[in-house]
Amino acid sequence: MNKAQLVEAIADKVGGRQQAADAVDIVLDAIIRAVVAGERVSVTGFGSFEKVDRPARYARNPQTGERVRVKKTSVPRFRAGQGFKDLVAGTKKLPKNDVAVKKAPKGSLSGGTTTKKAATKKAAAKKATAKRTTAAKKTVAKKTTAAKKTTAKKTTAKKAAAKKAPAKKATAKKAPAKRGSSRSATKKATSRRR
């Protein structure tokens, strides 16, 4: 199950897909921020998340067998709670999927005391600014492509004109001489040889 599937699974229980996505994002963000700060996050029956420090150590490169120094680092760790372990092991049966979600007070998901109307106004304002910015980006893109096309046409016209001019001069120089003059030149050259 990925994040999108998790959102779909809880969407009808929370009251819609957008609310479910927001709830998942808020919960994950709160867990991540707490663990990064070094706190332990424990969810009864599910498990706990914590930050663990790993000291510097030596390891072996599996390809060459060479000894490599590994720096100290911090990693997140999840430990499953006893209830979760029992369910996975099969010693306890999984309860039916009728867990009722209690309605939270208004504005509790957003962290403030905003009402539903205020939240919808903020969402509408965000959509409007997004539409404006995309429209502005499209017009700028159209202008730049139009400018590129006109400059491309101008440069190709200049190149074509430049190519045509030397070509005319070259053909004028390569024009064949008259027949009679070439015969007389060959006669003179043969008479001189004799």
pLDDT at 109: 44
Cα–Cα distance, 23 to 27 (Å, whole number): 6
pLDDT at 150: 60
pLDDT at 168: 47
pLDDT at 149: 63
Q: Please name which of 116, 96, 98 lies closest in space to residue 106, comparing C-alpha atoms.
A: 116
Cβ–Cβ < 8 Å for 54, 73 = yes
Per CATH, which fold does 45-93 belong to? HU Protein; Chain A (4.10.520)
Cα–Cα distance, 62 to 44 (Å, whole number): 40
Q: Map out the domains of the chain as residue ranges.
A: 1-37, 45-93
pLDDT at 185: 58
Q: List the structure tokens of 191.
A: 């008479």
pLDDT at 38: 94
State which amino acid sits at residue 40: R
Q: Among all chains, which residue has been given the structure tokens 């046409």?
A: 153
pLDDT at 97: 72
Q: List the structure tokens of 99.
A: 């867990």
**Average confidence (pLDDT) per 10 residues, the chain, 194 residues:** 93 91 95 96 94 95 94 96 92 76 48 44 58 59 61 59 51 52 59 62
